[in-house]
Amino acid sequence: MINKLFIYGSLLETDNEFGRYLKQHATYFKPGKFKGKLYDVDDYPGAIYQPDGDFVHGGIVILKNIAEALKILDDYEGYGDDQPQPNLFIRKLLTITTDSKPVKCWVYLYNHPVNRLKQIYSGDYLSYKKA
């Protein structure tokens, strides 16, 4: 099973429970990006995959215990049959562009309408949040 996860929002931060969880249960691999669009949902971002879109920027982490980590993160992201439907996020395998070679990673993609959300044109949530 793929043990890499691409993160682009609140999971990059260590001032929340799940960012701290990743810091303890994953190893940072390298920065990356994928074709899509990034939106300001409220207190967190939501990315959608769009092959002709801009880039969504973030980082790749290697999960130490993939099954346990994905279960915990699925709950956090509102993904799964036991979560409200339709799920807030869906987990997909995407090819992430890096400075060397493409890497297959799990990514949580926003699964609700985006037409009323503010787009983050830079594709970089942490920079957007600081501004």
Q: How far is CA 63 from CA 5, 45, 58, 60, 72, in A?
A: 7, 21, 16, 10, 12
* Phi, psi (rounded to 5 degrees) for 27: -115, 130
Confidence class for position 106, pLDDT limits 50, 70, 90 = very high
Domain that holds residue 107: 4-130
Query: How much of the chain exceeds pLDDT 90, in percent?
Result: 92
Supply 10's token pair.
């609140």
CB neighbour class for 106 (10 Å; exposed up to 12, middle 13-18, buried from 19): buried
Confidence class for position 122, pLDDT limits 50, 70, 90 = very high
User: 103-110 and 4-7: which strand pairing?
Assistant: parallel
- CA 2 to CA 86: how far, in whole Å? 25
Residues 24 and 30: beta-carbon distance below 8 Å: no
Q: Could you report the per-residue pLDDT of 59-84, keeping only the tens digit for each?
A: 999 999 999 999 999 999 999 999 99
Q: pLDDT value at position 101? A: 97
CB neighbour class for 55 (10 Å; exposed up to 12, middle 13-18, buried from 19): middle
Query: What CATH number did the domain enclosing 9 receive?
Result: 3.10.490.10
Residues 114 and 53: beta-carbon distance below 8 Å: no
- The answer on pLDDT for 131 being more than 90 is no
Average pLDDT, the chain: 96
Q: How far is CA 2 from CA 6, 50, 110, in A?
A: 11, 22, 20
Q: How many independent structural domains does the chain possess?
A: 1
Q: pLDDT value at position 15? A: 86
Q: How far is CA 27 from the centre of its chain?
A: 15
